Amino acid sequence: MTIDTPKNTDERGMSRRTLMKAGAWSAPVIAVAVATPLAAASIENVNTRIGVSNNGNLTVGNNAIGGSVNVAFAGSATVANSGPGWDIDDASVSFQVSGPVADAEFQFNGSPIGSTITSGGYTWSVVANEAGYLELGLLAPKPIPVPANGSTLLPYPPVTYVTTLTNTATTARRVQAIANFTVFSNGESIYDGNIKRFPA
């Protein structure tokens, strides 16, 4: 079995991480941002797909310098296929908050994040945790089966990011909250993501 891997660069030669880091900065207003899916991929010959849901929210208390910005990431990745079963060998999830916001720390259960997170029966290692960007790699359990003609749900840890605006938000300077989920099998990967923006 082979897995189609989406290109990590666009036609201009920018990497996916560069694009994620270059998100437009914007100032917030009191509202909940709109969620938009990012990408999808399929496994060749078995029609496997991944979809990422983000049930969290992005709210802005006041669209002015110093206004509060609250981001909650809560969701999951669903890996489904119509074909023979296979195993997820590994998985990773990344969260990014960008725009006209002050640097802050991601939190899990109201506390700063250490070297691991255990949530929903899964343990994740912290791969990167820097201003506005958090990446987690699955530690256990592995492998995770995807049944024939079925699906597997992988919840990602609910994390939060609380900060303030450094400028007002506009359509040219949006606050963005992005969740990306990647699963790996036999050295190949598929990924999908979800983005919330303010203003929409």
Residue 35 near residue 196, CB atoms below 8 Å = yes
**Residue 47 confidence (pLDDT):** 65
Query: Environment class of residue 86 by beta-carbon count within 10 Å: exposed (0-12), middle (13-18) or buried (19+)?
Result: buried
Q: Quick one: which of 200, 157, 156, 155 has its CA closest to 177? A: 200
> Mean pLDDT for the chain?
80
In the predicted structure, residue 164 carries a pLDDT above the cut 80: yes
How confident is residue 29, by pLDDT bands cut at 50, 70 and 90? very low
Residue 139 near residue 126, CB atoms below 8 Å = no
Instruction: Compute the distance between CA of residue 179 and CA of residue 195 in angstroms, rounded to an integer.
Output: 6
Instruction: Compute the distance between CA of residue 151 and CA of residue 40 in angstroms, rounded to an integer.
Output: 15
CA-CA-CA-CA torsion for 41, 43, 46, 48, nearest 10 degrees?
Answer: -40
Concatenated DSSP letters of 3-45: B----SB-TT--BHHHHHHTPPP----SSBPEEEE----EETT
- Interval 191-196 mean pLDDT: 88
Instruction: Compute the distance between CA of residue 200 and CA of residue 59 in angstroms, rounded to an integer.
Output: 12
Instruction: Compute the distance between CA of residue 175 and CA of residue 98 in angstroms, rounded to an integer.
Output: 6
**Residue 65 confidence (pLDDT):** 97
In the predicted structure, residue 4 carries a pLDDT above the cut 60: no
**Residue 133 confidence (pLDDT):** 97
**Residue 22 confidence (pLDDT):** 37
